[in-house]
Structure 1
Amino acid sequence: MKITRVETFLVPPRWLFCRVETDEGVTGWGEPVVEGRAELVRTAVDVLAEYLLGQDPLRIQDHWQVLTKGGFYRGGPVLSSAVAGLDQALWDIAGKTYGAPVHALLGGPVRDRVRVYAWVGGDEPAELTDQIGEQVEAGFTAVKMNGAGRVGPAATMAETAAVVARVAAARDVLGPDRDVAVDFHGRFTAANARRVLNELAPLHPLFVEEPVLPEQNHLLAGLVGASPVPLATGERLYSRAEFLAPLTAGIAVAQPDLSHAGGISEVHRIASLAETYGAHLAPHCPLGPIALAASLQVAFATPNFLIQEQSRGIHYNKDADLLSYVVDPEPFRFVDGHASRGTAPGLGVSVDEAAVRAADRAGHAWRNPVWRHPDGSFAEW
C-alpha cells in the first residue's frame, strides 16, 4: 500500500482538515491546524506531503521521525501542527487496515468511557450561571471557564475579586460533586496568578490552566509551591522536550493538543512522560471532530488520563459544529458527561467528505482578536 494523494480543506469555523489517500482505497483523516494561522499550516502540510507521496502509510513512527527531524530547522506550532494532522491520518489508515480502533493499536483500552467537560465562557460573566445550569441539565459533571477577560499587569483588588466571584458563582451552581476548571489563558502575570490562586483554593478548582504564559514556564515551580490549587498547562507546547520543564516544576495536569503536539504518536509519549511525574493527561481540544476523535482514542488507552475538552457549544463555533462534517454523530453523544468507547476502526469517526469539500469552497480566515489595555498597550488575549 502506498500514499497517492494528500489534500487539505479549510473549513469553517476555523479548522483545517487533511485527507490522506492510498492506492488500495483506504483513506485517513486528520486535523492539522493552528487557530488563526490555518493557511500557514496548510502550506506546511503541502511541503511535508512531498515526502509522504509514494510511501507505505503503515510506517507511522518512521514517518514521524522524518517529518519532525528531517529538516534542519524543527518544531514550532506550524510544523508540529502539520505533522500532527498527518500523523492522525496515518493512524486512521492503520486502524482501518487492521480493522481495529486506534486505541487497540496503542495497547488496548484501559477504560470504557471518557469523562469530558463543557466550556461555559467567563470573559463576560453575565450569563455564566445560566450557561453552567444548561450544561448540568445536559449531564456534564465538569465545566471549564475563563478566569477573567483582559487583566492589567498589576491586577486591582476589584479585578482579583471579580475572578473569585465568577468561580464562586460557578461553584454555587455546580455544588460539591461537580468540577470547575479555570483557564487563566496566559493573561495573568506570575504575581497576579499567585495572589488569585490562593483566593481560589477554597472553591476547589479541578485545575487552573495556563497560570502564566508558556514562555514564562520557568516560573511554574514557584507557583506550584505557593498554591494548593492543581496547575495545568500545555496547549502551546509541542513536544516531550517542552513538557519536561513544567512536569519537573510540578504541574498536576499536562494538556497537549492532538492537533498541535505532533499528533497521536507524540501525545501518547507525552502522557507516558507525565505519568512518571505523577501528572495526569487532559488533552486540549477546542477544535473539530477529527481532533476530538483522535484525542478520545488516546484517552481510552492512557492510564493517567483525567478529562477531555470538547468544543460543542464553545463560542468559536458559530458557523459549524462538531457534527457538521460527520456522517454518524454517535461518537460524540455524551451520556452523563462521558463519551463511550466505540469499536469502529481507525479514529472511529466517519467524515462527510461531500460536506467538507463544499465547506472548503467557502473557506475561512479566522483570526483571534487583538486586545489592548486602557492606555493603548497590547494585552494578552
Structure 2
Amino acid sequence: MKITAIKPFAVWVGIRNQLLLKIETDEGIYGWGESGLSGREKAVVGAIEHFAEILIGMDPFKINHIWQLLYRSQYFEGGRVLAAAQSAIDIALYDIKGKALGVPVHQLLGGKVRDTIPTFATTSGEPGPEMIEQAKMLMAHGWNAMRLSPAHHGQPEIFEPRESIGVTAKWMVKAREELGDDVVLGIDYHHRLSIAEAASFCQKMPSGTLDFLEEPIRDETPEAYESLRNLTDVPFAIGEEFASKWQFLPYIERGIHQFNRIDVCNVGGLTESMKIAGWSEAHYVDLMPHNPLGPICTAATVHFSAAVPNFSWLETRSSPAETHLGFDNSDFFPVQPRLVGASYPVSDAPGLGVEVNEELIAAQSFKFWQAPLLRRRDGSVTNW
C-alpha cells in the first residue's frame, strides 16, 4: 500500500474553521485527521503541503518511521505549526491502518482499558445564579465533573484580571456550597492571569473549593508555575498548547501539575500522545485531554483515552450547557462519537469510526477568524 494523495480542507464548519486532512492510498483505503492550531489553519496547510512532497509514495503503515521522518529530517524541528500538521497526518495514518486491518484504532494502541470515556462539561453562563443552575442541570444529566465559568471570559475587547477574580472566587465558593462535595469542580482561566493574580484568586477561596485550576498563567516558563505551586494547593491542569513531549518534560519531571490537558491534534498525534501518557503514568499525572474541535479530534481522543490507564475526564463541548453555541455538525459527520449520558462509548468500528461527508466539506469555504485581541483598560495587551 502506498500514499497517493494528501488533501487538507481548511473550512468553516458550524461555529469555527476546522482543518481536516484526508490521506488516500493506492488500495482505495483512506484516513481522516484533524489539526488543532485554531486561528492559524492556513499556516498549517502550508506545512502539510511541504510534508506531502515527502509522503507521497510511502507506506502508510510505517507510522513511527513517518513521525520521526517528519520531525527530525527538516532541521528546524517542531514548533506548533509543524506539530499541528504532523498531528493531522499521524491521526489519518492510524485511521488508514485500522481500516486496512479491520480493527479500531484503540487496538493499535494496545487495546482498551475501559469501555466508556467519562467527560467533563463546561458551563457557559457568567458566574452567578445562571452558572449554578447550568451546573445543577449537568448533574441531573449525569455529569459528576465540570468546568465552571470565570467572570468576563466572554468579553470581546476588555479583560481586567482583578475585576474578574474577585467575583469569580465568590461564585466558586457558592457553587461548591450548592453543588456539594461529590462533584468535581474546576475552572479555566485560559492563561489570562499573572502569578500574583492567580495566587490571589486561589487564596480568596477555602481549600477544597476547586478540584482543578486550568491554565491560570502562561506556560513558557515552568519556574513561574513552580512559584505559583508554592502559593496554592489547587491542582493544576495544563498542557493544551504543548506541541511535543519536550514541552511536557519539566512539568512532569518536576511535579508541577496534576492533570495533562494533552491535545492529540496539537502535540504530534497519537504517536506522541502515547509516549507522554506513559511518562505521565510513571509520575502519577492524570490525563484530561483537550478536545474543543470536531468529531475527528473527539474520535481520536476517545481511542487514546480508552487505551491509557492514567485517565480522568475528556473535555466535551456537546453537553446541554453548550448546545446553544452551535457545536452540532451532524450533516458534515454523519457517523461520529455521540455522548451516552456523560460518557462516550468506545467504538469498535475499524479505524477511527468516523464518516465524513466529503462533498459537503469540500463545498465549504475558509472564513477568517482570530481570537479576540484583548486589552486592559489602560490600552495594554493582555492574553486571550
Structure-2-length-normalised TM-score: 0.91
Q: Sort the Cα spacing of 1:324 and 1:194 in 2 relative to 1 into closer, same or farther, 3 A.
A: farther
Query: In the alignment, does 2:285 pair up with 1:282?
Result: no
Q: Distance in 2 between matches of 1:125 and 1:5?
A: 51
- State the secondary structure of the residue aligned to 1:283: coil
**AA partner of residue 41 (structure 1):** V
Structure 1 residues 231-273: Cα deviation after superposition (integer angstroms, max 9, x where no partner): 1110111111110111233210111111100011101111111
Query: In the alignment, does 2:262 pair up with 1:256?
Result: yes
**AA partner of residue 216 (structure 1):** T
Query: In the alignment, does 2:328 pair up with 1:325?
Result: no
Q: Is contact 2:60–2:97 with CA below 8 Å preserved after alignment?
A: yes
- State the secondary structure of the residue aligned to 1:306: coil
Alignment of 1:157-196 (within 5 A): 159-172=164-177, 174-196=179-201
- State the secondary structure of the residue aligned to 1:208: strand
Q: Distance in 2 between matches of 1:175 and 1:354?
A: 48
- State the secondary structure of the residue aligned to 2:270: helix
Q: Is contact 1:282–1:308 with CA below 8 Å preserved after alignment?
A: yes
Query: In the alignment, does 2:130 pair up with 1:127?
Result: yes
| Equivalent residue number for residue 208 of structure 1 | 213
Q: Distance in 1 between matches of 2:52 and 2:142?
A: 42
The structure 2 residue matched to 1:28, chosen from 31, 49, 55, is: 31
- State the secondary structure of the residue aligned to 1:290: helix
Alignment of 1:128-147 (within 5 A): 128-147=131-150
| Equivalent residue number for residue 8 of structure 1 | 8
Alignment of 1:329-340 (within 5 A): 329=336, 331-335=337-341, 337-340=342-345
Q: Sort the Cα spacing of 1:91 and 1:380 in 2 relative to 1 into closer, same or farther, 3 A.
A: same
- State the secondary structure of the residue aligned to 2:147: strand
Q: Is contact 2:207–2:234 with CA below 8 Å preserved after alignment?
A: no
1:151 Cα offset (Å): 5.3
| Equivalent residue number for residue 80 of structure 1 | 83
The structure 2 residue matched to 1:54, chosen from 57, 60, 82, is: 57
| Equivalent residue number for residue 119 of structure 2 | 116
1:78 Cα offset (Å): 0.8
Q: Distance in 2 between matches of 1:248 and 1:193?
A: 23
Q: Sort the Cα spacing of 1:129 and 1:295 in 2 relative to 1 into closer, same or farther, 3 A.
A: same
| Equivalent residue number for residue 69 of structure 1 | 72
Structure 1 residues 314-341: Cα deviation after superposition (integer angstroms, max 9, x where no partner): 8699565253421224x22232x11112
Structure-1-length-normalised TM-score: 0.92
Q: Sort the Cα spacing of 1:63 and 1:72 in 2 relative to 1 into closer, same or farther, 3 A.
A: same
Q: Distance in 2 between matches of 1:135 and 1:247?
A: 32
Q: Is contact 2:103–2:348 with CA below 8 Å preserved after alignment?
A: yes
The structure 2 residue matched to 1:265, chosen from 246, 254, 271, is: 271
Q: Is contact 1:258–1:291 with CA below 8 Å preserved after alignment?
A: yes
- State the secondary structure of the residue aligned to 1:11: strand
**AA partner of residue 17 (structure 1):** L
1:65 Cα offset (Å): 0.4
Q: Is contact 1:80–1:260 with CA below 8 Å preserved after alignment?
A: yes
Q: Is contact 1:146–1:185 with CA below 8 Å preserved after alignment?
A: no
1:28 Cα offset (Å): 0.3
Q: Is contact 2:90–2:268 with CA below 8 Å preserved after alignment?
A: yes
Q: Distance in 2 between matches of 1:316 and 1:88?
A: 27
Q: Is contact 2:245–2:276 with CA below 8 Å preserved after alignment?
A: yes
Q: Distance in 2 between matches of 1:210 and 1:77?
A: 17
The structure 1 residue matched to 2:241, chosen from 236, 241, 259, is: 236
| Equivalent residue number for residue 305 of structure 2 | 299
Q: Distance in 2 between matches of 1:191 and 1:122?
A: 26
1:140 Cα offset (Å): 2.1
**AA partner of residue 220 (structure 1):** Y
Structure 1 or 2: more helix by fraction:
1
CA RMSD in angstroms comes to: 2.2
Q: Distance in 1 between matches of 2:357 and 2:139?
A: 30
Q: What residue ranges of structure 1 are gaps of 5+ in the alignment?
A: none
**AA partner of residue 290 (structure 1):** I
Q: Distance in 1 between matches of 2:206 and 2:11?
A: 40
- State the secondary structure of the residue aligned to 1:10: strand
Q: Sort the Cα spacing of 1:342 and 1:168 in 2 relative to 1 into closer, same or farther, 3 A.
A: same
**AA partner of residue 328 (structure 1):** V
**AA partner of residue 244 (structure 1):** L
Aligned residues: 374
| Equivalent residue number for residue 363 of structure 2 | 358
**AA partner of residue 375 (structure 1):** D
